[in-house]
Structure 1
Amino acid sequence: IHDDLDLPVGTIKMVFGRGSGGHKGVESVMRAIKTQDFVRIRIGVAPIGKKNQAKKLKDEEKVIKHVIGKWRPGEETTAKKAFKKAAEAARLFVTDGIESATQFANTR
């Protein structure tokens, strides 16, 4: 389970066997276990831009400030709902398997 700047705040996606997308923590895990074949739950942390899409932060300093900074008004509530959904997806993965968990996680 990890944060993802390619997804808007509050969005979660469950994926298997995908690349890191530039996420340093995921890259570290892949190097350590020598594979990308594992399940991940991505939790969106990108600011919401036009059409409710993830707003791209181009400057590294802005990325760092955003990721470790405080939530904007309304984002914290949205993020907490996503955290609960991610926890339920993880529970479903353990109890019911990847198909059920992925369907739950990837449905709005």
Structure 2
Amino acid sequence: MNSYLIVGLGNPGPNYAFTRHNIGFLALDILARSYGAGDWGTEHKAWVLKFKTDHGSVILAKPQTFMNRSGESVQPLLAYYKIPIENMLVLHDELDIGFGQLRFHKNRGAGGHNGIKSITEQLGTMDYARLKLGIGRPPKPGPDVADWVLSKFPKEDESALSDFLNKAGDAVESWMSDGLSAASTKFNG
């Protein structure tokens, strides 16, 4: 039976809850609910939730190190649970994809995302799957990028956000059941 590590990136604390930068955390919350999983615990500087599915054992992880140091949590989790890197998926926000769109990638650079940069540095490789969750760029004129990613989703986007997070959950499920290539074909828009 396979084991999977699914990491959602974000920043800890109530000030960052429901911000664009924390969409990885939000996606894991939806995924956990869809499986009726239990309570989150703390391990290796992350909130961790473990459960079983038809596909195998699943560990959801939300690093609590702040985004720029995510690798300090991810690398020890991967090593401790002896999960092969091909069974790890990292979900994170992506400015260069429109809100509501998602894309699977593997063997790509960080593209300016400091959480991905930290994970890649700690693992010593880019050879892991990522699910980029589109948050889009800020409107012009408008906030700068740092303010944009740390801003909360507006109330009028709540319904679309819910649909998007459910779609992300379906994409993760497809990745576990069908593999990266098939999930990419199905979900990359």
Q: Give the number of the structure whose alpha-carbon radius of gyration is greater.
A: 2
1:40-95 deviation line (CA, Å, top 9, x unaligned): 000111247xxxxxx589x9x72122112122464333332222111111111111
Aligned length in residues: 99
Which secondary structure does the structure 2 equivalent of 1:8 belong to?
coil
| TM-score for both structures, normalised by structure 1 | 0.77
Between Structure 1 and Structure 2, which shows a larger proportion of strand residues? 2
Give 1:94's aligned residue.
176
- 2:160 equivalent to 1:70: no
2-side partners of 1:87 and 1:21: how far apart?
Answer: 23
- 2:99 equivalent to 1:17: no
Structure 2 unmatched ranges of 5 or more: 1-90
- 2:135 equivalent to 1:45: yes
Cα RMSD (Å) of the superposition?
A: 2.4
Structure 1 unmatched ranges of 5 or more: 49-54
Which secondary structure does the structure 2 equivalent of 1:3 belong to?
strand
| Higher RCO (CA 8 Å, separation ≥ 6 residues) | 1
2-side partners of 1:73 and 1:84: how far apart?
Answer: 18
1-side partners of 2:140 and 2:94: how far apart?
Answer: 11
Give 2:188's aligned residue.
106
2-side partners of 1:76 and 1:6: how far apart?
Answer: 21
Identity %: 28
Moved over 6 A (4+): none
| TM-score for both structures, normalised by structure 2 | 0.47
